Amino acid sequence: MPLAKTEHSQNHLPRQIGLTTAVALIVGEVIAVGIFLTPAAMAKSLGSPLWILIIWLVMGGMAISGALCYGELAARFPAAGGGYVYLREVYGEGLAFLYGWKCFLVLDPGLSAALASGLTGYVGYILPLSPLGAKAVGVAVILLFAFANIFGLQIGAWLMRVLTALKLGLLAVIILWGFAMRLGNWSNFVPFAAQHAGSAPLFGALAGAMVAAFFSYGGWWDISKLAGEVRQPTRTLPRAFLYGVGIVTLVYLLTSAVFLYLVPIERATSGETFAAQAGEVLFGRAGGQIFSGIVIISVLGSLLAVMMTAPRVYYAMARDKVFFPSAAALHPRFNTPTRAIMLQALLAGLLVAIGTFNQIVAYFIFITVVFIALTVAAIFRLRKPVADADIFLVPGYPFTPILFLVLVSLLLLLLALNNPLQAVAGVAVVALGAPVYYLFFRRR
């Protein structure tokens, strides 16, 4: 479809997001509970500070490579919908519909439910909650964020900046407090390269650490869904991708370093235990509760970012008439896609209430990574026969997208080998959207 259609679909979405908010959305969504759990898994399996460093750097390089590619796509198609728009413009509406089908039915509400329920689990460390009370808190947070987004993008953007600043500030306190007060031991980094006794075989450990690190970086691409509301998107979005992923990589490296400084590798049994041990070294007996509070703030930021970005895909689909038409309606006063936001919130709240979402989300990780790979590969089609000189272009082309696609292909292989049933099932369910598209939308 021509770019003119993309531009036409954004006439009523005001551009209100600046660079600071865009960066905050990336950092706020990506840095969640994973930073407290992944270092333990890496330490336990790899048993080597050097290999932990290498994994973070390699996966950070992969994320930056992909982010730069998304930056060029966002500069070319600065419209709400992100991956949906890029897939539509390059591969056609059918494939884009399958992407939106997967997002709306499963991944977005499932991920929102998983974050909300994970949040209540940590709230339970501070305040006693019954099972029913935990579900009520999860649903309440989802609805609260939904209404915050409905009442204006500026409210959600302000809240996002506050949560991200608070999150980064608390992580900085952990890092500086641990090193400055000399609460750990530098001998924990020795031996630096060799694996500790009891570590997993290196090849298998590297494979597992690569998958875990990729999930810890997950979500950096979602800011593109808000491209229709970003000021000067051709300049702002590429910079936001680069700055956001760069900050995340630095935070992951420093946080992993301070955790290893505080807790010896041989004591890394589980993520929760590892974080609790680090918290006890830092803050004494109250360390577990303090760490729970930090995790709650981290997860709140991630949940808010998901709920801000996801409805823009349904809005874009509705504008293309491949979704419920009402999802394209904007609030007459707040200029927000109210019905799209409420659709996601109601589905997520329902999943929290019935308590079945973790396994569902796991089945769609593989196909989600496939869509990300296809999106980055679109760069090659757009560069033929000539590149536009007046927009942001991926530095190091074609090696930058090639690096990303090589690493993501390895990741897909590892995911398929680890659980082929999940991979096949997720692809099959997404493929079921094809007859829906051809029967109801292709001849509209």
Write the CATH number of the domain with boundaries 3-440: 1.20.1740.10
> In terms of DSSP H, where are the helices of 191-324?
202-217, 233-262, 271-283, 287-309, 311-319
How far apart, in whole angstroms, are the C-alpha atoms of residue 23 and residue 27?
6
Question: What single-letter DSSP state applies at residue 231?
Answer: S
- Residue matched to tokens 């874009």: 316
- Name the 3-class secondary structure at 17: strand
Residue-level pLDDT at 279: 82
pLDDT, tens digit only, all 444 positions of the chain: 344 344 434 447 889 999 999 999 999 999 988 888 888 888 888 999 999 999 999 999 999 999 999 999 999 999 999 999 999 999 999 999 999 999 998 889 989 998 998 888 888 878 888 889 989 999 999 999 999 999 988 999 999 999 999 999 999 999 999 999 999 999 999 989 988 888 888 888 898 899 889 989 999 999 999 999 999 999 999 999 999 999 999 999 999 999 999 988 888 776 667 777 888 888 887 877 888 888 899 999 999 999 999 999 999 999 999 998 989 999 888 889 999 999 999 999 998 988 766 667 788 889 999 999 999 999 999 876 455 557 888 999 999 999 999 999 999 999 899 889 888 988 998 999 999 999 888 765
Distance between CA atoms of residues 6 and 224, nearest Å:
14
Helices and strands in the chain: count of H runs, count of E runs: 20, 0
Domain ranges across the chain? 3-440
What number of other Cβ atoms are within 10 A of residue 113's Cβ? 28
Rounded to whole angstroms, the Cα distance separating 277 from 284 reads 10
Rounded CA-CA distance 410/406 in Å is 6
306 CA to centre of own chain: 8
d(CA 107, CA 357): 9
Nearest to 203 by CA among 45, 54, 56, 50: 45
Which residues contact residue 300 at a Cβ distance below 8 angstroms, ignoring those fewer than 6 apart? 119, 141, 163
pTM: 0.91
CA distances from 12 to 229, 315, 370 (A): 10, 12, 32
Backbone angles phi, psi at 187, to 5 degrees: -65, -15
Which SS3 state, helix, strand or coil, does residue 230 take? Answer: strand
Q: For residues 370 and 82, is the Cβ–Cβ distance under 8 A?
A: no
The span from the first CA to the last CA of the chain, in angstroms, equals 15
> Are 308 and 25 within 8 A, CB to CB?
yes
Cβ-proximal residues to 72 (8 Å cutoff; 6+ apart), any chain: 238, 379, 382, 391, 392, 393, 394
User: What six digits make up the tokens of 401?
Assistant: 């997208």
Backbone angles phi, psi at 71, to 5 degrees: -65, -40
Q: Give pLDDT, residue 389.
A: 56
Report the distance separating Cα 207 and Cα 141, nearest Å: 35
Dist. CA 304–CA 291, nearest whole Å? 20
Question: Which pLDDT score is estimated for 387?
Answer: 52
298, with CB counted inside 10 A (0-12, 13-18, 19+), is buried
From 21, 164, 9, 173, select the one nearest 85 (Cα to Cα): 9
pLDDT at site 41: 84
